[in-house]
Amino acid sequence: MDERGILEHDAAGQALGAYIRERLFGNDVTPRTTRSKFPVKDHAALGRVLGTLGTSRLSANPNQLAKAVNTGSLPVTPETEEDLRQACKDVQAMRRDLLIALGLHQAGSGSKTGPDLKP
């Protein structure tokens, strides 16, 4: 049996890295944090984000908009201004819903996650 085979046999189903760390450090081993295989905590919030993406006009290239603004070729009409304001609101709502979906923010808790998040 090769070295890896011996280690896998001795680990008896335990993750090989964890087994080796345990053998090297004994009781001084620090537990590793792991990511969940299912990071989404709130599927409804994720659904809202996907729905907003599907119905919004955010797919327009922001760089093209920025260039048009900088060159003065974007006519700033009340409709354009309202479209930009709505796009900003959509992005803020998607950010909030993504944080909720990932379990990084509690809906309606009054807590903040990130610099400008408001529930």
Most confident of 10-19, 26-35, 89-98: 10-19
pLDDT in tens, 43-88: 888 888 888 777 766 656 677 777 787 888 878 788 888 888 887 8
Question: Which positions ≥6 away from 4 have C-beta within 8 Å?
Answer: 16
28: which 2 tokens? 């001084």
pLDDT band with cut points at 50, 70 and 90 for residue 119: very low
Give the whole-angstrom CA distance, residue 47 versus residue 101: 9
- Amino acid residing at 23: R
Predicted pLDDT of residue 98: 83
Q: What is the DSSP string of 2-26?
A: -HHHHHHHHHTTS-HHHHHHHHHHG
pLDDT band with cut points at 50, 70 and 90 for residue 90: confident
99: which 2 tokens? 């944080």
pTM: 0.46
Q: Count Cα atoms within 13 angstroms, Cβ side, for 119.
A: 10
Predicted pLDDT of residue 2: 92
